[in-house]
Amino acid sequence: MTRKDIVTPVEVAAYDELSASDRRLAELAREAASRAYAPYSRFHVGAAILLDNDEIVTGANQENVAYPSGTCAERSACFYAHARYPEAKFRTIAIAAVGTDGKEVAEPVAPCGACRQALLEYEMLAGAPVRVILCGRDECYILPSVSSTLPLAFTEF
Ligand code: THU
């Protein structure tokens, strides 16, 4: 028997340590959170995706009275990005959230499992790592790829 350790590298950065492009993406994710439609959970999430055509597409969670019919911010952003710019490759995604108290969540917010799998599809299409910026109130986590957020992912059948 052998053993394999799967390690997730995470860079922790204060906002003033980010590049101008990453800072802008984080700002747009925060702004997108303010456009969430989340009357049931009152948890507002925003996502901003930078594409290789330099466009930025944002999304926010969209809830529904029939709960499972809603969708997360990350999926609303990635599905719209690929529907709008089917040829473009994803470069970076930033995610931010405003909690039920109306304040930006203190800890960097991480995408749910389904969103990780959905985002992985676009990383596979890009053929290169898509960086992930998880925004918290004072600092953010930067992951080098979507696959690093989803070890042992399902990738083929
Ligand atoms: N939510 C997201 O938008 N992204 C995630 O990765 C986790 C959760 C949304 C779904 C729901 O509208 C609300 O946050 C509470 O779960």
Domains and CATH numbers, the chain: 11-149 (3.40.140.10)
In the reported structure, the alpha carbon of residue 109 is separated from the centroid of ligand 1 by a whole-number distance in angstroms of 10
Max CA separation in the chain (angstroms): 51
| pLDDT value, residue 156 | 84
What is the tens place of the pLDDT at every residue in 102-145? 999 999 999 999 999 999 999 999 999 999 999 999 999 999 99
Active site annotation includes 74: yes
What is the tens place of the pLDDT at every residue in 8-17? 999 999 999 9
The pLDDT of residue 86 is above 90? yes
Spot the catalytic one: 11, 17, 74, 156: 74
| pLDDT value, residue 95 | 98
Tell which residue, 15, 10, 12, has the closest CA to residue 144: 10
62 bridge partner residues: 37, 71
In the reported structure, the alpha carbon of residue 94 is separated from the centroid of ligand 1 by a whole-number distance in angstroms of 14
In residues, how long is the chain?
157
User: Looking at ligand 1, which residue's alpha carbon is closest to its atom 7?
Assistant: 112
Q: Is residue 128 a contact partner of residue 92, using CB atoms and an 8 Å limit?
A: no
Q: What is the pTM of this model?
A: 0.97
